[in-house]
Every structure is written in structure tokens, then in C-alpha cells.
């Protein structure tokens, strides 16, 4: 008898600040719709944010998507990195540098994962306004695996110049 593969709800952060970021995010959302063994359930609006790292780079456009997937965490990571590469992403040693597309697994069901390639919940999830506010738009009652509610985190993290853009995904 074949083993039943469980479907998990997953949240993915999207970000871009090069090569027309709005177009990059729209294209990334279309690619997420095509992921094998997965369904795109929701996408937040798009948000403009200041860069986290070096300030001599363009502002970012960010969003969060919710997927239901049967892919294992590493399989999903590989698929997301393939989408990044298809969008011209080049991985560099410099952290928080400019990029055509960044796709991060923020949450994978209620799992905690710590491996060489993947940390879930995403290590910056609890401090980044450009993740928390879009996430709250599509999952306002969400609780992290540690039990902290998204609403508590939102009360602790200011907007920091984050603004919702009018040209967003539907």
C-alpha cells in the first residue's frame, strides 16, 4: 500500500529590488502557481520597503504567498531556488545585497527545521516588517511554532517606512 503524502501549509516570502521588481514578483507568483504537488492559496499585496543591508541599492518590493504543498521542505527549497535562478538570481557572498528575486520559506506547517541549507521558521521572520505585515494580511490569526501569535509580533515591529503598493497581485 503506498504511503499517504501529507499536504502542508507553507508561507513563502517574496522580495526583489532589481530588473523591475513588480514584474519579478508577478512572474514569481505565476511560477509558484506551477509548482508540482502544490497549490497557491493566497498572495498578499505587494509592499515597498527600504533595503535591510547596504543602503546604496534600490528599494525592495515584498509579498508573502501561502501554499499547500506535498513537497518535502528540501524539495520545496530546491524548487524555489530554481525559480530564483530562472529570474536571474545570482547568489553572492554579500548578505542582504540587491537581487532580482528572493524566495524564502518562512514557515512550513508547524515544523521547526534546522539544517545546513534550511532554517524554519525563517531566522528573520520575527523582526522584519516587510515579512510580518504581508503575512498578517493573508494569515492574521497565525501562530508560530513557538506559540507566539503574529499579532504580538506586529505590536513589537514598527512599519519602518513599509508601504502597500497599489499595483499588486490578485
pLDDT reported for residue 53: 73
Q: Which residue has the higher pLDDT, 167 or 84?
A: 84
Domains of the chain are: 8-164 (3.30.70.560)
pLDDT in tens, 104-132: 999 999 999 999 999 999 999 999 999 99
Residue 169: pLDDT band (50, 70, 90) is low
pLDDT reported for residue 39: 98
Q: Phi and psi of 29, rounded to 5°?
A: -60, -45
Q: Decide if pLDDT at 42 tops 90.
A: yes
Alpha-carbon distance values, 160 to 54, 122, 155 (Å) = 16, 20, 13
Alpha-carbon distance values, 57 to 23, 96, 170 (Å) = 18, 10, 28
Residue 97: pLDDT band (50, 70, 90) is low
Q: Decide if pLDDT at 2 tops 60.
A: no
Percentage of residues in the chain with pLDDT exceeding 70?
91
Percentage of residues in the chain with pLDDT exceeding 90?
81
Q: Decide if pLDDT at 164 tops 70.
A: yes
Half-sphere exposure of 75 (CA within 13 A, CB side): 10
pLDDT reported for residue 167: 56
Rounded CA separation 107/142 (Å): 11
C-beta atoms surrounding 6 within 10 Å: 8
pLDDT in tens, 140-158: 999 999 999 999 999 999 9
In DSSP terms, 15 is beta-bridged to 62, 102
pLDDT reported for residue 38: 98
Active site residues: 89, 99, 102, 104
Amino acid at each position: 500500500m503506498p504511503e499517504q503524502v501529507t499536504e502542508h501549509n507553507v508561507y513563502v516570502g517574496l522580495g526583489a529590488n532589481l530588473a523591475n521588481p513588480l514584474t519579478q514578483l508577478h512572474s514569481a507568483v505565476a511560477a509558484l502557481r506551477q509548482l508540482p504537488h502544490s497549490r497557491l492559496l493566497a498572495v498578499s499585496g505587494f509592499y515597498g520597503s527600504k533595503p535591510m543591508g547596504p543602503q546604496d541599492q534600490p528599494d525592495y518590493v515584498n509579498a508573502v504567498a501561502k501554499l499547500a504543498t506535498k513537497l518535502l521542505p528540501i524539495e520545496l527549497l530546491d524548487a524555489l531556488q530554481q525559480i530564483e535562478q530562472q529570474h536571474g538570481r545570482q547568489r553572492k557572498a554579500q548578505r542582504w545585497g540587491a537581487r532580482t528575486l528572493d524566495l524564502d520559506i518562512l514557515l512550513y506547517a508547524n515544523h521547526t527545521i534546522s539544517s545546513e541549507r534550511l532554517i524554519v521558521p525563517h531566522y528573520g521572520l520575527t523582526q522584519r516588517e516587510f515579512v510580518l505585515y504581508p503575512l498578517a494580511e493573508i494569515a492574521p490569526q497565525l501562530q508560530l511554532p513557538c506559540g507566539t501569535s503574529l499579532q504580538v509580533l506586529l505590536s513589537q515591529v514598527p512599519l519602518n517606512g513599509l508601504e502597500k503598493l497599489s499595483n499588486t497581485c490578485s
